[in-house]
Amino acid sequence: MKIIIPITTLPLEVQELYRENRLDNFAIDYQYNNMLAGVKKESIHLDERWKDIEVFNFTKYLKMDNRFNTYTIELTPTEIIIHITVT
């Protein structure tokens, strides 16, 4: 199964960070039913160099569950594609 998220549907702040290639480590948080990514911040403190930001919230569409599947996330210039595989 594929879930395709066009970049244009993301919040404007996230779109800008995505296009500037400043987001990293995309992951699904099953507890909060969203996708997060790390944003590199300009900071001299090692423990403050990254901040998690919500990229997409699935709540209006579906409830993500990791009991019977796994996923990979593919990033393209115009969309985020989540490939879900039954385990």
In this prediction the pTM is 0.85
* Total number of domains constituting the chain: 1
Which domain, by its residues, includes 11?
A: 2-86
Give the pLDDT confidence score for residue 68 in this predicted structure: 87
pLDDT in tens, 8-60: 999 999 999 999 999 999 999 999 999 999 997 765 555 666 789 999 999 99
Give the pLDDT confidence score for residue 42 in this predicted structure: 66
Neighbour-count burial of 48, counting CB atoms closer than 10 A to its CB (0-12 exposed, 13-18 middle, 19+ buried): exposed
Give the pLDDT confidence score for residue 17 in this predicted structure: 93
Residue 80, phi-psi category: left (phi > 0), alpha (psi -120 to 50), beta (remainder): beta
